Amino acid sequence: MSLPSKSAYLNLLSSLARKSSSRIVLLVLDGVGGLAKDGKTELEAARTPNLDSLARGASCGLSVPVLPGITPGSGPAHLALFGYDPLVFEISRGALEVYGVGKTLSDQQIGARGNFCKIDGDGVVRDRRAGRLRTEENARLCAHLNERIGEVDGVGVEFVPGKEHRFVLILTGKGLSSKLSDTDPHEEMKHYAECTASDPEGEMTARVVNSLMETVLDVLTGEKEATGIILRGFSGRPEIPTLGDLYHLRPAVIATYPMYKGIANIVGMDIIGCESTWGSQVTALEELFGRYDFFYVHYKLTDMAGEDGDFEKKVGLIEEADGAVDRILELKPDVFVVTGDHSTPASMRKHSWHPNPFMIKSIGARIDSADRFTEGECARGCLGVFEAKYGMGLMLAHAGKLDKFGA
């Protein structure tokens, strides 16, 4: 696949990339960055002996997911980590979720990320996550909706369960458009939003979505845990070059949530199955370490605690993640990177624009003055503040996977 002309850096990386036997591990602590409470951020309050020891032997810095002041979604934040300019390559949340649950999209399909939620009789969203619905209940509700709603106005409808309150909606029909607004108001105590089209071609699809929203409310009448749905990130089939094509890598993902498996799947990673515990993820890495040369390992729970506004829980989960870092180091990866995709301060209860702590450990890493893996210490590091899309170049360079540029 030819790359967009605006992707000069990605074109350069791809032209210089070469195969080598070295292995890279990218550990993403989702939403790890935070803001101070009683003088300390979540990272500063946590006891992280393994991460701190790693920082003292690594190059450290701060990465900006998109641009200064721009709060990223999980999709663009991760694309940047893999070297794609998120302003050039856009993949909506729907496609990420669809591919994450093992589905794909055809030219006559669009997908969306959905939440089961609590909506009152006036259409006001009282709880956007239905109390983080149990995954088993999610599966039951999806089966119930699929049985009762096969199509809307001639458009096929499929609900695919995810984890907890999350599901995927797939619409199938001719002339569908993904240029639609969300029905998710993105805040509680607001009426669910009307779906609108950004151009005339999407007006039919918007009508189908609005009709579906009302139909679901009727079908879920009487349910105790979830009484409605909200939708966001409508997407058609994505087109993007893979990491194998770009960098000659054999990449794999070890993640427990569908969305992150989805983005990894779209960029050509093999999905490694494992149980939903952090220890099981690290065990999967240990068992398959010799089979791949790039591992993306995703730790979700720090982000969830941040979105719940639970500072102390986020501190504890950072400590849990730290507890297995020594096992990863025992594998002796040639390059080991630890960072976040974005910051999720517990005080804000949502993603933020703040730069992410970033450290890279390799035989070629310059040791700087950072003494811990925290926002403030990484700010003292030799990497400075850089756009996250340049992180992949650093990983490839440290792994000896880039040829020299020019004569």
A 10 A CB-CB count for 153 gives 12
What is the DSSP secondary-structure string of 99-139?
HHTT----TTEEEEEEEEEEE-TTSEEEETTTTT--HHHHH
pTM across the whole model = 0.82
First to last CA, the chain: 27
Residue 132's pLDDT is 86
Q: Mean pLDDT per 10-residue run, the chain (407 residues)?
A: 68 96 98 97 98 98 97 94 94 87 92 95 92 93 96 96 94 96 94 95 96 96 94 92 96 93 93 93 97 98 97 98 98 98 97 98 96 98 97 98 94
CA atoms within 13 A on the CB side of 276: 7
Q: Where are the domains of the chain?
A: 9-91+241-398, 97-235
Written as six digits, the tokens of 85 are: 């300019």
Domain 9-91+241-398 has CATH 3.40.720.10: yes
- Beta-strand ranges (E) seen in 45-90 are 59-64
Residue 6's pLDDT is 60
Residue 4's pLDDT is 52
Longest pairwise C-alpha distance within the chain:
72
Residue 11's pLDDT is 93
Q: How far apart are CA 250 and CA 399, in angstroms?
A: 14
Q: How far apart are CA 256 and CA 55, in angstroms?
A: 26
